[in-house]
Structure 1
């Protein structure tokens, strides 16, 4: 086999996942658990959820940097507050993403999350990642630590904090309860596991 043919075959056999850093741990865990050697992973900063306008062009740049190296590229982002702009970029680039508006939905299951949200729209959701980084992303990132008077503005319309857990970790459950106390919400726990992220990754050839 020529070097050119070897390169083509190697390219066609590999898939790149471009993902949000907030789901990196779960993607790596699934990849390792299932020995998916055909998948490579690159992540963009999770902090971009505080400035979602950065996400579409950040994803586009990753696609363009790698489209000549990989035979297949898929994106593990919901819409994530981009107002449809991410989907417009992906359509232009010919790349697909996981279904769902956000990671809460694809971890819980799209239908199950929609029903849960419809039943109670006053819930504020956390994942494993958001529990681990609650102080950095929420208390400090949203300015509440320095300006507690902002708390009612951000959370005045919520009544519950729902921890959508990917792992059964007592330490994270304790942190999630503490997070609920910090923002004055009633604590609830729901184990989701990896949800539709697992089936999405399993279906990638």
Structure 2
């Protein structure tokens, strides 16, 4: 089986596959597609089509991810299953918990372990903040906090990531909160796809 994976969660998926001993190959697309979500569905379709020639089964390792149903249309047309939810945050924290979190404070900027590690590239460079730091207040004026959905369970790695998450929050001028989610939700969702 092949998984067309969002590049932002491909590594945790590969770790999940290894932990469970599933016969699954993870094929990531670039994580920066999230900065242009209108391209996700067509890129998934392209890669899934090429993988279908080599695998008995192909599934989609994306939630909706800002495609507003375009990814579901591709999945329906090609007979593919995808991960549940609106975005990867649902996979980590659970859809109900995410709804509560955002209802309690709509101005919540979310980070995952991937985004913490790649913040300089995926956020600062992509938004141009490395070149025009004065845009920070414009981009983040309606945000009130950063919530890091921490997936790692390794203490040493968590300490390193916390330092990076704190630095990211400071760069955009918001307080940091940490919510330990682990990767149980992603494991379960991927397991459901593997089981078919």
Secondary structure of 1:104 counterpart:
helix
Quick one: distance in 1 between partners of 2:70 and 2:121? 27
TM-score (norm 2): 0.93
Quick one: distance in 2 between partners of 1:72 and 1:111? 30
- 1:171 and 2:156 equivalent? no
Quick one: distance in 2 between partners of 1:112 and 1:161? 16
**Greater Rg by CA:** 1
Superposed counterparts of 1:109-128, under 5 Å = 109-128=94-113
TM-score (norm 1): 0.89
1:81-120 deviation line (CA, Å, top 9, x unaligned): 1121111111111111111111111111111111111111
Quick one: distance in 1 between partners of 2:184 and 2:81? 19
Task: Give the number of equivalent residue pairs.
Answer: 190
Quick one: distance in 1 between partners of 2:137 and 2:74? 35
Secondary structure of 1:22 counterpart:
coil
Secondary structure of 1:141 counterpart:
helix
**Residues 56 and 85 in structure 1, CA contact (< 8 A), matched pair in contact too:** yes
Quick one: distance in 1 between partners of 2:85 and 2:33? 18
**Residues 63 and 82 in structure 2, CA contact (< 8 A), matched pair in contact too:** yes
Q: Partner of 2:89 in structure 1? A: 104
RMSD of aligned residue pairs (Cα, Å): 1.1
Which of the residues 143, 156, 176 maps onto 1:158?
143
Contiguous gaps of at least 5 residues in structure 2: none
Quick one: distance in 2 between partners of 1:156 and 1:182? 13
Quick one: distance in 2 between partners of 1:41 and 1:179? 29
**Residues 91 and 189 in structure 2, CA contact (< 8 A), matched pair in contact too:** no
Superposed counterparts of 1:70-85, under 5 Å = 70-85=55-70
State the shift of 1:184 in Å.
Answer: 0.3
Q: Partner of 1:61 in structure 2? A: 46
- 1:191 and 2:177 equivalent? no
1:19-60 deviation line (CA, Å, top 9, x unaligned): 111001101111111111x21110100011111122111000
Q: Partner of 2:5 in structure 1? A: 19
Secondary structure of 1:43 counterpart:
strand
